Structure 1
Amino acid sequence: MPRIFIPPMLRSLTENRDRFETNAVTVREAIADLESQFPGIESRLCVDDNLRPDIAVAIDGRVSPRGLRQKLTTDCEVHFLPAIGGG
């Protein structure tokens, strides 16, 4: 079952839970599952059906360029991170 790690900045929405297990098969579905349990979290992670520009998602330690479309495996770890820009 995929494990979603909740960053400290969002734990006020999850009753201070730092992780959440889901049956989701994509990041989009995982966020929808989080939203059903913890209303308001989706708007902190997404805007206009995309990840917020200041948020990145890492699956098993690798930042995914696929964002919400990234598929999840049954034993993966999902982390939401502040996106790092630069040039």
Structure 2
Amino acid sequence: MSVSVRIPTILRTYTGGDSEVTAEGSNLAEVLDDLDAKFAGIKGRILDEDGKLRRFVNVYVGNDDVRFQDELATPTPDGTEISVIPAVAGGC
């Protein structure tokens, strides 16, 4: 299933500067595998050494945060938009 993946500025060096790319997969894990096959190394910036989402990276499938869904098993229906968003820290 083909999905659209929005890439944050910090990871665009992997995608040749593209802010949006397409990938294939029926769930988030498969989409990330496909992304890494096309853009070597990008998956390692999204997942940690244990294969889990990095603490400071948020991933949305449609409007849903995958941490409140099925994480990497979250389904990615054809035409879905996936957003990878680095967490912003700061404060007073």
Within 5 Å, give how 1:72-83 maps onto structure 2: 72-83=76-87
Which structure 2 residue ranges, 5 or more long, are not aligned? none
Stretches of structure 1 that go unaligned for 5 or more consecutive residues are none
Match of 1:63 in 2: 65
TM-score w.r.t. structure 1 length?
0.87
Structure 1 segments (4+ residues) deviating >3 Å: none
Q: Distance in 1 between matches of 2:88 and 2:73?
A: 20
Equivalent runs, 1:3-14 vs 2, <5 Å: 3-14=4-15
Q: Which has the larger radius of gyration?
A: 2
Match of 1:46 in 2: 47
Q: Is the 8 A contact 1:56 1:67 kept in 2?
A: no
Contact 1:26/1:71 (8 A) holds in 2: yes
Q: Does structure 1 retain, via aligned residues, the 8 Å contact 2:8–2:86?
A: no
2:29 aligns with 28
Query: What is the TM-score normalised by the length of structure 2?
Result: 0.82
Amino acid at match of 2:73: R
For 1:12 and 1:22, locate their aligned partners in 2 and report how far apart those are by CA, in whole Å.
17
Q: Aligned residue pairs: how many? A: 85
8 A contact 2:66–2:72 mirrored in 1: no
* RMSD of aligned Cα (Å): 1.6
